[in-house]
């Protein structure tokens, strides 16, 4: 007996393993039209006033939004946002989802390999409850976050620390 299809599921979908071809395609897409970031973000609800925020972002023109929707469906994380400049971005934020995705994509990354390695290293050192991070750990990991200034191509990046 065949079950009928329902667009609304009472039970969340089980994550399916992606094969090497899918992973290598996504890694290539991230290399070309994506970004891996670690940011030091001001947060009043954190003990020391800062959060280390990891994220992965994919970009496409609005006309290719369906591609990002299918990628989101495959990765099962993040959110999609339409920007005012005709671009759509798919963003994945957070220690666990970013770590899990980058761990799978790392063997296939070329241009963003160093970004992924640095991000994974910082995420392994990040306390489970970042709100309670001690000052020495925040300082040490902030120096690692600063390394992204040299890895990324942005002309807008600023650092609060003098070199």
Q: Which residues are catalytic?
A: 32-33
Angle, vertex CA 138, rays to CA 80 and CA 125, nearest 5: 75
Q: Ramachandran region of residue 38, left (φ > 0), alpha (ψ -120 to 50) or beta?
A: beta
What tokens does 43 get?
């947060």
| Radius of gyration of the chain, Cα coordinates, nearest whole angstrom | 18
Long-range contacts of 6-10 (CB under 8 A, 24+ apart): none
SS3 95: helix
d(CA 128, CA 148): 22
């Amino acid at each position: 007996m065949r079950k009928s299809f329902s667009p609304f599921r009472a039970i969340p979908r089980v994550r399916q393993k992606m094969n090497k071809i899918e992973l290598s395609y996504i890694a290539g897409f991230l290399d070309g039209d994506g970004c891996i970031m670690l940011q030091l973000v001001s947060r009043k609800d954190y003990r020391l006033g800062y959060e280390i925020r990891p994220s992965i972002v994919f970009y496409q023109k609005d006309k290719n939004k369906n591609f990002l929707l299918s990628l989101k469906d495959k990765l099962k994380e993040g959110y999609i946002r339409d920007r005012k400049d005709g671009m759509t971005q798919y963003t994945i934020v957070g220690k666990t989802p970013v770590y899990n995705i980058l761990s799978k994509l790392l063997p296939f990354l070329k241009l963003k390999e160093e970004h992924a390695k640095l991000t994974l290293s910082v995420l392994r050192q990040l306390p489970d409850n970042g709100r309670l991070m001690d000052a020495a750990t925040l300082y040490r990991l902030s120096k690692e976050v600063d390394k992204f200034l040299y890895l990324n191509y942005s002309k807008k990046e600023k650092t609060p620390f003098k070199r």
